[in-house]
Structure 1
Amino acid sequence: MNSNYSNGLKKCTNLNQLFKWNSCFSKAKTFIPYLFFFIFLHSIQGQKKNADYRLNIRKTNAVITIDGIVDEEAWQETDVANDFFMVLPEDTGKAEQQSEVRMCYDDKHIYLAAVFYHNPPGPYYVESLRRDFSFGKNDNFLLFLDPFNNQTTGFSFGANAAGAQWDGTMNNGSNVDLNWDSKWISKVKQDKDKWVVEMAIPFKSIRYKKDVKEWGINFSRLDLKSSEKSSWTPVPRQFSTSTLAYSGVLVWDEAPPPTGVNFSLIPYVLGSVNANNIEGSNTDYETKIGGDVKFALTSSLNLDLTINPDFSQVEVDQQIVNLDRFELFYPEKRQFFLENADLFASFGYSNIRPFFSRRIGLDVPIHAGVRVSGNLNENWRMGLMDMQTASDEETGLPSQNFAALTFQKKVFSQSSIGLMFVNKESTSYPIDTEEYRELYPKFNRNLGLEYNLASYNNLWTGKAFVFKSFSPDDEGNGFTQAANIEYKTQNWNFGFKEEYVADDYRAEVGFVPRTGYFKINPFVGYLFYPEKKSTVLSHGPRATNISYFNEDFKNTDYLNLLQYYLNFRNRSSFRMTLINEFVELQEPFDPTGTGKPELPAGSQHYWNALRLNYNSKPQSMFTYSIGTRVGGYYQDGSWFSLNNELGYRFQPYVSLSSVISYNNIKMPAPWNTTEFWLIGAKADITFTNKLFFATLFQYNEQSKNFNLNSRFQWRYQPASDLFLVYTYNDQLAPFTDTTQTLTLKLVYWFNK
C-alpha cells in the first residue's frame, strides 16, 4: 500500500477530517445515498396490511385439561379463526385443507386449541418427536405472537402432528430463533380425518407490556400430503408465514394480567471422565457445579446471570470440506448466548460481524456472565452483556472481560436504528511481558450504527451500517461500512450490495475473515409461474456478480453466477449454476487444504465451472439431496465434487441421516491429484417427546479427523434435563492425538 493512501486511511479515523480526504470520501459517499433512499421509501408507508383480521380472546374461569380433546365448555364460548388462506403452492384463494383455532386465557395461561382436517384421509408426515423440528419436513401448526404489535419481535409456539414441540423468539420481522426454550405444555391427538393440538402457555414464559390490549398474531399450517401451506391471514407466497407485517390482531377483552414475580433458578451438577494420549495415557476426573438465574426486571425486560457455565451437552459442529481462503463460520449453540441473540448477533453482515459470541470462552473457562435484554417499550429494545473468562498460564493468555451494549429503536412500520458498542479488555496477564501484551493486546473496541429497512409490505428490505474499531496501536483503528437494498415480489427479486472493510479494521470479538477490500454485489432474478396446473410450481433465472477490489481499487476477485431454478409442486427443487471466477491471491494459499505447497501471493487464476443441485420431496420416508460441481480450479487445474445427503425415518421414533462428500482436485506438480472424503452419519431416536438419544459420527479425510458424539437426554420436567454425553475425537495419522470424554449432567429449572 502506498504511503499517501495509508496516511489517508489514518485521517479517516478523525471525524473532523473525514470528508476532507478524497480516498475516505470515495468510500463513505456510497453509504450516504442509500441512507437517504431508505428514508425516502418510508415516506410512502401505509398501515398494517392485515389489521382487519381480528380475533377476540376472552377470559375463562373454567378448568381446561391439556389432553388434545377439545371437549371443555370454555372452547364452545370462544371465537374461531378459520377459513385459512392458501400460501403455497398458490396464494390466490382459500386453503383446501380446513383448520380451526380457538383461544382463551385465565390468570396464569394462554390456552389454544386447534383442529386440522385433511381430505381425503391419509398418512401424517412427521420427522420425529424431537423439539424444534424442521418446518418443511413435518405436518405442523405454528402460532406467531407479537405482544408489542410492532411487527418486528415476538414469540413462536407450535407442534407437529406427532406431538413434538416447537418454540422460539422472533426478530427482524420474520426470523424465528429456535435455540430459545421455555416452559409450556401441549398435547396432540390424531384421528383418521383430523389431528388436534391443545396448548397452555404461561404468561411468565413470554415478555409483553402491561396494559396493551392488542397483540399481533397469526397461525400457520403445513400439510405435506397435499403440499399445502396455509395461513389465517393472507400472506404472499414469496414470504414466510412468520412475516409479522402480514399478521392479524389478537384483541383482549381486558389487558393481560401482570406476571408478578418472575424468577427462575437453573442449577446444574455434573461429573466427567476425560482421557487423552497427548502426553501419554492420562485420565482426569472432574466435578462441576454452576447454574443460571433468570429474573424479570419488567414484564418485557429480563436479567440473566450465569456462574461457572458448562456447555458439555451442546452438539458438536458438523464438519464441512474447507477449500476456502478465509476462516469458516460456525454458529453459536451455547444456550446462555441465545435468548435475544439477535440484539447482538444481527449487527453487520454474515461476513462482517462486530460481535460473535463464540469468541468468548475460546479454549478457556468462563467464570461468570450477566445479560440484560428485551423490550423497554413497544419501540425500544436493549441488550447488555458482560462475561469474564479465566487466564491460561501455559499460553500466556490473560483473563479477559467481554462486554457488549446495544440499543435498537423501531422507526416507521418495521424498520429500526441500532447502536452497538463492543469491548474486549485484558484484565490480568499471567506472564506480563511486552511480548505477551503485543500478542494479546490490552483492549479492542468497536462502536457503530446500523439502519435496518423493511417497508410496511416487506417488498423493500435493506441495511446500512458503519463501525469503527479502536486498539492500542494505529494498525487496529480502522472502520467498515456497508449497505444493501433488495426488492422482492412474486416474480422479481433484485438488489445491490456494497461493502468496505479497511485493512486496519479489527473486531477481535467479531467475525471478519477478510479485511482491506471494497466489494460490490448486484443481482437480479425472475420467477415464472405456469398458468396451467403442472408438476412445476415455478421456475426462472437469476444472475449475480460479486466483485472485490483492494484499497487501491484494483480488481482482485470476481465471481459471476448464472443460475436457473425449478421448484416443483411436491416441494422438491432443482438448481443449475454456471460459474465464472477470477482470483488474484493476496496471500499464499494451499488450494487443497491438505498441507501441500502454497500458491504465491499475486498469482492470478481464472476458471469456469458447472454446479447442479437437487432436493427430493420431504413427504417420502426416504429423502435425499445431491449436488455436483465440475470445472476448472487454481493453476489451470480441475475440481470435481459430489455431495450427497440421505435420510430415512421410521416415523416418529427413528430418523437416520448421512452426509457423503467426495472431492477430486487435479493440478500440475507439485500438487498433482488430491482426493478426499467427508463422511458423516447420524441416528436420532425419540422414544417419547421427553426421552431422546442421538449419535453422530464424522470422518474427515481432508483434516485427518474422526469424531463420535453420543447424547442421551431425559426431560424429566419441563425445561429440566438429565444428560449423558460421550465424545470421542481422534486426529488420524500422521497425528496421534486421541481424546475421550464421558459426562453426566443434571439440570433443574426452578420457577417462582
Structure 2
Amino acid sequence: MTRFLIIGAVLLSFNTLPFAAGPSQDLKASKPRAYINALRVDTPPVVDGHMDDEIWQKAPVAGDFVQDDPIAGAPMTERTEFRILYDNEALYIGFWCYDSEPNKIFARSLSRDNWPDEDDFIHFAIDPFLDRRNGYLFAFNANGSRFDAIINNNAYAGNSWDTIWNCRGSINNEGWFCEVKLPFDSLAFAPGNTTWGFNVDRTIRRKNEEGKWHTEGRHLSTSAVANAGEIRGLEGLNRVSKWEITPFVVGKYQHDHIGGDGKTMSDFGGDISYRLASNLNATLSLNTDFAETEVDTRQLNFTRFSLMYPEKRDFFLKDSGIFQFGAGYYKSAPMPSTPFFSRRIGLTHSGQPVQINLATKVSGRIGKYNIGMIGAMLDDYENLDGQNAFITRVSKNVLEQSSVGMISTMGDPNSEMDAYMLGTDFNYRTTRFLTDKTFRTSIYSMANYDDETDWNYAHGTSLSYPNEFIDAGLSYYQIDEDFKPKIGFTRRTGVRHYGTQLSIRPRTEKISWLRKYHLSYYNSLYTTLANQMESQKHSFYIPYLDFESGYSFSFEIEREFDRPDQDFTVSGGGKVPAGEYWWTDYNFDVDLPDAGLINGGFGYVIGHWYHGEKNTIYARVGFDPFKWLNTSVSYSHNGFELPDSEFDAQISSLNFRFNFTPDMGWSHLFQHDNISDSMGYNTRFFWEFKPGKKAYIVLRQNYG
C-alpha cells in the first residue's frame, strides 16, 4: 500500500500548485480562433431541412472552410456556410453545403448511430464548458441520419451514448442543407458561460475531400476541442428542466425448443432523473431492464487470455467519459487493466444477466472538478445473495488540457468477499509542443484488496507524440500476480510490459494517384516480475499506402515470441503445449473506397503459429443499394495445421437494416460460428415516436 500512497500523494499535490488555483487560462492559439455570434430568437425556425424561415437570414454567417485532405490549408472546393440561433429551449444550427454537382451528392443511409463516412456528411463538436477538454460530437448526412458521441480529454470516447436532438436535411439544385435542434436539456453545460467551444468538419465523399471551419493542423481531429473555434453571445442559459421521468413496460416470451416449454413474463420500472444543476445530474433506475440492448458480436479467441466485450447499456454509457481512467487506449500505450468495467455489474462472468433492483448515478462537472458516482443493488442469483457495488471517480482539470484524479470501487458482484480498489492518475496533454505539435503523457497507480489475496498493485506510464509526419510513443506498466479488480478488467497479470511505436507518414502531393504512405514499427514486450522474457511481438508495416481513389493497401510482417508455462486450448479445440515458440506471419490487407456502392475490405494472413501453421482469410463487405436498406456481410476463416491435428475456426455474420425514417428502423443480425455450431438471430424494431420516447420489439433466437 505504501507505493500507492506515495504516487497518489505526488499526483494529488497538483491540486495545490498555483496553476490549478486560479481561473482557467485560455490556450494561446497558434492562429486566431474563428468564432460566430449566436442570435437569440423569440420564435425558432421549423426544423425541416428547407432553410426557408426568414429568421435564418438575420443571423451572422460563418464559413471559409479549409482543407485537411487532400491539400492542407487550401480552400475547400465547395462552399459551406452555417448560422446559429437559440432561444430558452434549444440551440439551432443551420448548414448550407453548396455543391456544383448536386446529382453526385452521396446520401445512402438513414441509420441512427452509424458513422456516415460512406456519404457526404457534416460532423461538429461542442464544448459547452469551454474547458478545452470535453464535449459532444454530432454527425449527420443529407438524409438527416444522426450520430452522437462523447468527447473526453480531446478524444473520441465512444458512440454508444445517445441524447435527444433533431436533424432534418434536404437536397436541391444548389447542394444539400440541414437544420439541427439541440435542446439544452440534452447537454450538460456551465451556467453563466456565454461562450462555448465549437468546430465543424465537412466531408465531400466523391472527392475524398475533408475540411474544417477552424483548423490548426490536419493531425488534430474535430474532437480536439482544445483547438476549436467558438460560439459567442449565448446569454441567459439558465432554464433547464429539473425532472425527467422515463417509465418502461416490458413483455417477454421465452420458448425452449428442446424441452418444448414456453413462458410469458412482464415487468415494469423506470428511470427518474433530477438536474441538480445545469452541469450535474442525478439518476435513479428502478428494476433496471436491458432487454432492448443490442446483442454482443461473436468473437474467437486464439490466445491464452480472456476477451473483453464492450458495454452497450445506456444507463452505464451516459457520462461514461467521466469514469475514464488513465491514458485510454493508444497503440503505444494500451490500458492493461481497467479499474472500472461496467459489464461486471448485472452480468455474470459467463455473460448471463443478473437483475439490477436499484441503480443510482450522480455525474457531471462542478467548476474544475469532474464527478461520477454509481451505486447498484443486485438481485439474488444461483446460490449468491444480492450484492452491492459502488464506484466513485473524481478528477480535476489542471494546466491547459490536463487532469489529475482518483477512482475507487467497492464490492464484488460475483461473490460475498470484501473487495476494494483505489487508483490515481495524472494525464498531461498539450498541442503547443515544439510550437504546434501534440504531446501526451500519463502516469497512474492502482491498489486492489480482496479477502483472498490481500493488497496487490499496478502502475504505469506512457508518452505519446501523435502528429502528422511522425507518430511515436513509449509505454511501461507493471501488474502484480493477483491484481484483479472485482469491478474491473485485467487481461494479463504478473507482468512488466514495455512498448514502443514509430510511424513515418509522408504526404505525396506530387504523385497524383497516391495521397500518403506509412512506414511503421510497433513492438510489445512482456517479462515476468522476475524479468524473464515471457512474450514479445514486433510488427513492421512496409508499407501502408493510401490512394487518391480511396483504396488503401498494407503489408505487415509480424514476428512473435511466446513462452506459455502451461498447456492451453484455443477456439476450435487446438492445444498448445507449454514451451518456447518463435514464429513469423505475413498480412496483406485491402480497404475499398467508402464512396463505392460496395465498401469494406478483405485480407489474407499466412505464416507459422506456435508449433504449427495458421492461415486466415477475412472480409467485410457493405452494400447500400438504397437509403432505406443497409447491408453488410463479414466472414473470417482460420485454418490450423498442428503436429497432432488439423482444424479450422470460422465466424460469419449477416446484418441488414430497413430504415423507414431516421427515427424508425428494423435491424436483423445473423451470426454463426463452427465452434459452437450454432446460428444466432437477433431482430430489433426501433421507433423513437417522440424525442426521448422509444419503443422496441426484440426477438432473439439461437439454433443449434
TM-score if structure 1 supplies the norm length?
Answer: 0.86
Q: 1:333 to 1:703 in 2, by over 3 A?
A: same
Q: Which residue of 2 aligns with 1:22?
A: none
Percent of aligned positions that are identical: 24
The answer to whether structure 1 residue 498 and structure 2 residue 476 are counterparts is yes
Match for residue 372 of structure 2 among 372, 377, 383:
383
Moved more, 409-418 or 128-137: 128-137
Task: Compute the displacement of 1:80 (Å).
Answer: 0.8
Asked if structure 2 preserves the Cα contact closer than 8 Å seen for 1:413 and 1:456, the reply is no
Q: Which residue of 1 aligns with 2:256?
A: 276
Mapping of residues 578-617 of structure 1, within 5 Å = 578-590=557-569, 592-596=570-574, 598-601=575-578, 603-617=579-593
**Separation in 2, partners of 1:679, 1:66:** 41
Asked if structure 2 preserves the Cα contact closer than 8 Å seen for 1:174 and 1:243, the reply is yes
**Separation in 2, partners of 1:530, 1:117:** 29
Please give the per-residue CA displacement for 1:196-219, whole angstroms capped at 9, x wherever unaligned: 111222222211122111111111
Secondary structure of 1:343's aligned partner: helix
Q: Which residue of 2 aligns with 1:480?
A: 458
Mapping of residues 89-128 of structure 1, within 5 Å = 89-128=70-109
Q: Which residue of 2 aligns with 1:431?
A: none
Q: Which residue of 1 aligns with 2:672?
A: 699
Q: Which residue of 1 aligns with 2:339?
A: 354
Asked if structure 1 preserves the Cα contact closer than 8 Å seen for 2:102 and 2:176, the reply is no
Q: 1:32 to 1:569 in 2, by over 3 A?
A: farther
Q: Which residue of 1 aligns with 2:331?
A: none
Moved more, 83-92 or 552-561: 83-92
Mapping of residues 347-496 of structure 1, within 5 Å = 347=326, 349-362=334-347, 363=352, 364-377=354-367, 379-392=368-381, 394=382, 396-425=383-412, 440-457=415-432, 459-473=438-452, 475-496=453-474
Secondary structure of 1:459's aligned partner: strand
Q: Which residue of 2 aligns with 1:298?
A: 277
Letter in 2 for 1:554: Q
**Separation in 1, partners of 2:157, 2:534:** 37
Please give the per-residue CA displacement for 1:284-320, whole angstroms capped at 9, x wherever unaligned: 2100101111211100011111111111111111112
Q: Which residue of 1 aligns with 2:613?
A: 638
Please give the per-residue CA displacement for 1:255-305, whole angstroms capped at 9, x wherever unaligned: 242124332111110111101256x33212100101111211100011111
Please give the per-residue CA displacement for 1:463-493, whole angstroms capped at 9, x wherever unaligned: 21100001123x2411000111111221111
Match for residue 629 of structure 1 among 590, 605, 615:
605
Match for residue 619 of structure 1 among 591, 595, 609:
595
Task: Compute the displacement of 1:668 (Å).
Answer: 0.4
Q: Which residue of 1 aligns with 2:658?
A: 685
**Separation in 1, partners of 2:207, 2:615:** 38
Letter in 1 for 2:121: N
**Separation in 1, partners of 2:57, 2:374:** 47
**Separation in 2, partners of 1:624, 1:488:** 26
The answer to whether structure 1 residue 575 and structure 2 residue 575 are counterparts is no
Please give the per-residue CA displacement for 1:45-78, whole angstroms capped at 9, x wherever unaligned: 9524455312111212244211222232321221
**Separation in 2, partners of 1:711, 1:46:** 46
**Separation in 2, partners of 1:32, 1:704:** 54
**Separation in 1, partners of 2:595, 2:196:** 34
Q: 1:15 to 1:188 in 2, by over 3 A?
A: closer
Secondary structure of 2:338's aligned partner: coil
For structure 2, list consecutive stretches of 5 or more residues without a partner in the other structure. 329-333
**Separation in 1, partners of 2:77, 2:141:** 19
Asked if structure 2 preserves the Cα contact closer than 8 Å seen for 1:537 and 1:569, the reply is yes
Task: Compute the displacement of 1:566 (Å).
Answer: 0.9
Please give the per-residue CA displacement for 1:329-367, whole angstroms capped at 9, x wherever unaligned: 111000100111122244465431011000111131111
Asked if structure 2 preserves the Cα contact closer than 8 Å seen for 1:184 and 1:202, the reply is yes
Task: Compute the displacement of 1:243 (Å).
Answer: 1.4
Q: 1:573 to 1:512 in 2, by over 3 A?
A: same
TM-score if structure 2 supplies the norm length?
Answer: 0.92
**Separation in 2, partners of 1:128, 1:45:** 39
Task: Compute the displacement of 1:705 (Å).
Answer: 2.9
The answer to whether structure 1 residue 656 and structure 2 residue 628 are counterparts is no
Mapping of residues 39-50 of structure 1, within 5 Å = 47-49=28-30
**Separation in 1, partners of 2:294, 2:177:** 32
Task: Compute the displacement of 1:15 (Å).
Answer: 4.7
Q: 1:658 to 1:476 in 2, by over 3 A?
A: farther
The answer to whether structure 1 residue 728 and structure 2 residue 689 are counterparts is no
Secondary structure of 2:380's aligned partner: coil
Mapping of residues 166-181 of structure 1, within 5 Å = 166-181=147-162
Aligned length: 680
Task: Compute the displacement of 1:535 (Å).
Answer: 1.9
**Separation in 2, partners of 1:99, 1:228:** 13
Asked if structure 1 preserves the Cα contact closer than 8 Å seen for 2:116 and 2:140, the reply is no
Q: 1:360 to 1:275 in 2, by over 3 A?
A: same
Task: Compute the displacement of 1:142 (Å).
Answer: 1.9
Secondary structure of 1:714's aligned partner: strand
Secondary structure of 1:337's aligned partner: helix
**Separation in 2, partners of 1:49, 1:403:** 43
Asked if structure 2 preserves the Cα contact closer than 8 Å seen for 1:445 and 1:469, the reply is yes
**Separation in 1, partners of 2:608, 2:196:** 55
Q: 1:247 to 1:583 in 2, by over 3 A?
A: same
Q: 1:48 to 1:404 in 2, by over 3 A?
A: farther
Letter in 2 for 1:86: Q
Match for residue 515 of structure 2 among 532, 537, 547:
537
Asked if structure 2 preserves the Cα contact closer than 8 Å seen for 1:181 and 1:719, the reply is no
Secondary structure of 1:494's aligned partner: strand
